[in-house]
A and B are shown apart, each in its own frame.
Chain A
Amino acid sequence: MHDAGLPGRRRGPGLQRVLPILGVLTGVLLVAGPLAAMLARSLLLWEGEEPRLSLHNFIDLLSDPRFHEAVGNTLLCGIGTTIASCVLGLSLAWVVARTDMPGRRWFEIANLIPFFLSPYVGAISWIYLAAPNSGIIQQFMRVQFGLSLEFLNIYSLGGVIWVLTLFYTPYVYLFVIAPLRQMDAALEDAARVHGASFWLTLRLVTVPLLMPALLSGALVVFVTSAGLFDVPLALASPSGIRTMPTEIYAAVQYPSDFGRAAAFGVLVLTVTVLLTLLQRRYLSRRRYETVTGKGYRPRLIRLSLPGRIAALSLEVIYIGAGVVLPTLALVMVSLSRLWTGRFNPDRASLANFEYVLFNYQLTQQAITNSLILAVTGATIGVALSLLQAYYLNRGHPKRRPFVDALLSLPLGIPGIILGLGFLILAIRTPLYSTLAIVLIAYVARFFPFATRTVSAMFQAINPELEQSARASGASWGQTMRLVLLPLLRPALIAAWIMLFVIFIRELGATILLYAQGTETISVALVILSDRSFGYAAALAVIQLLLLLVAFVLFRASKASIVQS
């Protein structure tokens, strides 16, 4: 709303103009600051006392075979994960949305659980399950069936792709399930009647129509899974496999080479931004209107008995591998005083939990820190996202698309790279090694998730609702409080819970920014994973419980996860 003011009395720009712009600027600065610091650092070279501008860091890096190895491995992981998640996510979404598979309402929700879990904990659990020789699965098969599964080794690129796929499948699933469900049935029916078989219709009509959604999902999965630090740290590093995130981490460790890390970060960032821009271009050219509102909802396909078995097996394998088996393994390890690869129920004890919760300073501190970070971070993030969403929906119409693109930039930036930027920025300031810098990094990396959720709901709110409040005499503040906020409540709750979940499990940014006393649960898990299986598993179970509570709250709030 543009307020012309009363004649004879010019009013300055009110809160309604200033606050949203402030929210946008904060968001931009939060991202631009660390990235600029990283870019600057990558171009500086210290020789003696004075730094000088140089491309040395880049030249060094590009000519290093270890760099090529890391990039190759990360590309392999990213592409492998993307393909596997697309196939799995699309199949699961199709089975749930389009067939009469028994229990599909239950699976519809269950398929989202991995979205809420921690990939690092997932990787640890899969170490318990499938570590060479000592894994629970190998032992179980050997003892029960006399089968040798020696080839099964979770410490491999295959292991990384496997665990990443389990965690990134819900992203694709979320992207494609809505269009699958809402597509006008006539689009497929017309193909059938005009002579295409079921499979031909799937290939020529259904899948091409889902392509924009599928490609969006694929890009998000590629960028985020390739940039994820957690899983390669747990599964690739132990066997000496280099990947992009673990190499950046290694460069910052003693003897640290910030120039190398920064140059690495800049290169990754360039690729990420290019990919995101490509996707925007692609999507702007094809926005299919597949929802006509006048057509029918697609019919459910009646599965034959073999079809039913296949669909159910797919679900059971996915939920089993993504949720049930890892949880079981964690619980078994956490209840064992000494983990030997087999669980002995007679010797189960809560000693690990007791120690982690009441006697161990590191873990106690970590749990407290994580809760502080998650609660304050989510609150700040949602407040920021509200202001930004206001600008994106009520701000200057011509600037909105640009601001939208700018604000969604961090979505693709790996946490470890933003963490590196903040580290470079804060290293010589009092902020260094405080909880505050971790908090700032969290908000900077993840506010776009909240902004997208809130903005999507904002879009559905007719501006006339606010205009009538203003016309009835309410001030802008009153309108916000009495009209807009109540209408946005579900989205605000959803965004808060989503940020809470992300912050409770965050590792990539934290690992570079934590110091003694500011460890989080995930950091403590990394530290403990070398020392004690039992303590790590107990702490992981506690984190899992926190995440599951958030998931239950999320379901109860009837909010929905908004994609794209």
Chain B
Amino acid sequence: MARQGRAFVRVAGLVKRYGEHPAVDGVSLTVEEGHTLALLGPSGCGKTTILRCLAGLETPEEGQIEIGGRVVFDRAAGVNLMPEQRELGIVFQSYAVWPHMTVAENVGFPLRVRRVPRPEQRDRVRRILDVVGLAAWHDRPATNLSGGQQQRVALARALVHEPRLVLFDEALSNLDAQLREQMRMELKVLQGRLGFTAIYVTHDQAEAFGLAEHVVVMSRGRVETQGAPREVFHRPDTPFVARFLGLNLLQGRVLRSRSADDGTYAEIALRDGISLWGRVVGPQDLAAGAPALACVRKEHVRLAPCGASQDGVLSGEVRASSFLGLTEEYVLDLGGLELRAVQPFMGTAPGQRVAVSIQPEECIVLPAERAEAPQ
């Protein structure tokens, strides 16, 4: 998106507790105007709570929230605007389409409560229903619609009063895969056309990466990592993110490291005699002997029929495989370590040995997690 620089939404030091349990534990983030931010994480990580705090549906214990240059919440200053004063749009996972109203009444609601003159209400509702492709459904009771159509009603309702910030709470996860794909594209087109800023909560990484300019990965109420989708995707910088994105995590110790043009590489000893090279991510250098994790995307584990003995090639045994369509997922036993690989079908049966190779550029080395409970 063209407009750069100005933070439209600013969240600082947000804390929200439920009893003793902090659901959001000191989160700060910003969203630029016209951009989409995705809050990504497993359920219970606090992403929805942040969204609800932004909407004014929950009152945080600490922190500050600014939307479009207006402070809507500030604990210290005692500011806490009601939800209806924050001028937002929201789309819920359950759609929250009111069953006692028609499609037009649902969509026109934000205009009605703002006392927009009736003829103007009608025009604007028609226009937005055209945009979401529901013009023909205008007078139908909202409950007669399919899930995808209800989703569009919810979307039209969130956009009709032209809010500058629209919140999406797992908005597409109730739809089936095909419809989800289609809605994702439509949302992108719509946003380009209407130019609103969006915050998008999801547990689905494909959705987050596909929709957002900026992705925030959350875990246990904290920001785990954030950045552009490609950055987060290609360089997971914590074990949590790596695991959440579905990478293989192999535990070991640093043997040695060397510097190259594109960063530091380290050799990690995994099990007796098995080691591999990977690129060190993150600021800290890893001293020899330090515990470390080698993280490899399944698609980057290359398999070959056994025999070709080369440098950097390991030997593993196929335990199981499952058909994924164009590719096949293999579960490999690498001297006692489990490794998953996704490869085009190569005709190996469980029990057979294969050569496993991992390119150092495609293997990420992270310092081993501190006292963190296994997920």
Contact = CB atoms under 8 A, between A and B. Distances in A.
A209 B100 CA distance: 7
A186 B84 CA distance: 14
A187 B95 CA distance: 8
Given A189-B55, A192-B57, A193-B88, A288 B94 contact: no
Contacts of B157: 190, 194
Top 9 closest pairs, chain A to chain B, by CB: A186-B96, A192-B83, A186-B92, A295-B94, A194-B110, A190-B96, A292-B94, A288-B99, A193-B90
Contacts of A195: 84, 87, 109-110, 113-114, 161
A208 B83 CA distance: 21
Given A196-B109, A197-B84, A190 B99 contact: no
A178 interface: no
Contacts of A50: none
Nearest to A192: B83
Interface in A284-302: 286, 288-290, 292, 294-295, 299
B90 A190 contact: yes
Given A187-B98, A209-B99, A194 B93 contact: no
Contact of B92 (A189, A205, A209): A189
Contacts of B143: 288-289
A286 B90 contact: no
Interface in A185-223: 186-187, 189-198, 200, 204-205, 208-209, 211
B56 interface: yes
Contacts of A194: 84, 88-90, 109-110, 113, 157-158, 161
A204 B112 CA distance: 11
Interface of A: 184, 186-187, 189-198, 200, 204-205, 208-209, 211, 286, 288-290, 292, 294-295, 299
Contacts of A191: 98, 109, 113
Interface in B147-179: 154, 157-158, 161, 167, 174
A211 B100 contact: yes
A196 to B, nearest CB: 4
A193 B83 contact: yes
A295 B93 contact: yes
B341 to A, nearest CB: 35
A414 to B, nearest CB: 33
Interface string B41-57: 00000000000100111
B82 interface: yes
Given A187-B96, A295-B93, 13 more contacts: A184-B94, A189-B52, A190-B92, A190-B98, A191-B98, A193-B55, A194-B109, A195-B84, A195-B114, A209-B98, A286-B100, A294-B94, A295-B92
A294 B93 contact: yes
Given A209-B100, A211-B100, A192 B82 contact: yes
Contacts of A186: 92-96
Contacts of B94: 184, 186, 292, 294-295
A195 B56 CA distance: 12
Contact of A189 (B82, B83, B87, B99): B83
Contacts of B57: 189, 192-193, 299
Listed residue (A184, A187, A194, A204) with the most chain B CB atoms within 10 angstroms of its CB: A194
A460 to B, nearest CB: 23
19 contacts: A184-B94, A184-B96, A186-B96, A190-B90, A190-B157, A191-B98, A193-B88, A194-B161, A195-B114, A196-B84, A200-B113, A209-B98, A209-B99, A209-B100, A288-B99, A290-B99, A292-B94, A294-B174, A299-B58
Interface in B111-131: 113-114
A396 B117 CA distance: 55
B86 interface: yes
B23 to A, nearest CB: 13
A116 to B, nearest CB: 34
Contacts of B100: 208-209, 211, 286, 288
Contacts of B158: 194
A295 B88 CA distance: 20
Nearest to B58: A299
B248 to A, nearest CB: 33
Contacts, number: 92
A195 B84 CA distance: 4
A196 B113 contact: yes
Contacts of A197: 82, 84, 113
Contacts of B110: 194-195
Contacts of A198: 82
Nearest to A208: B100
B88 to A, nearest CB: 5
A192 B92 contact: no
A193 B56 CA distance: 8
A461 B56 CA distance: 42
Contacts of A196: 84, 109, 113
Contacts of B82: 192, 197-198
A298 to B, nearest CB: 11
A190 B96 CA distance: 7
Nearest to A194: B110
A192 B174 CA distance: 22
Greatest chain A CB density within 10 A among B87, B98, B154, B161 is at: B98
A292 B173 CA distance: 14
Nearest to A196: B113
Contacts of A193: 55-57, 83-84, 86, 88-90, 167
Nearest to A200: B113
Contacts of A294: 93-94, 174
A292 B93 CA distance: 10
B203 to A, nearest CB: 13
A189 B58 CA distance: 10
B92 to A, nearest CB: 4
Contacts of A288: 99-100, 143
A193 to B, nearest CB: 4
B19 to A, nearest CB: 13
A292 to B, nearest CB: 4
B115 to A, nearest CB: 10
A192 B89 contact: no
A212 to B, nearest CB: 9
Nearest to B173: A294
Nearest to B167: A193
B104 to A, nearest CB: 15
A295 to B, nearest CB: 4
B56 A192 contact: yes
Nearest to A211: B100
A208 B161 CA distance: 23
Contacts of B52: 189
Which residue, A187, A197, A208, has most C-beta atoms of chain B within 10 A?
A: A187
Contacts of B55: 189, 192-193
Nearest to A188: B96
A195 B161 CA distance: 10
Contacts of B56: 192-193
A140 B169 CA distance: 59
A289 B113 contact: no
Contacts of B114: 195
Interface string B245-278: 0000000000000000000000000000000000
Contacts of A209: 98-100
A195 B87 CA distance: 7
Nearest to A209: B100
A191 to B, nearest CB: 7
Q: Which of A184, A186, A200 has the most CB atoms of chain B within a 10 A radius of its CB?
A: A186
Contacts of B95: 186
Nearest to A190: B96
A123 B265 CA distance: 89
Contacts of B89: 193-194
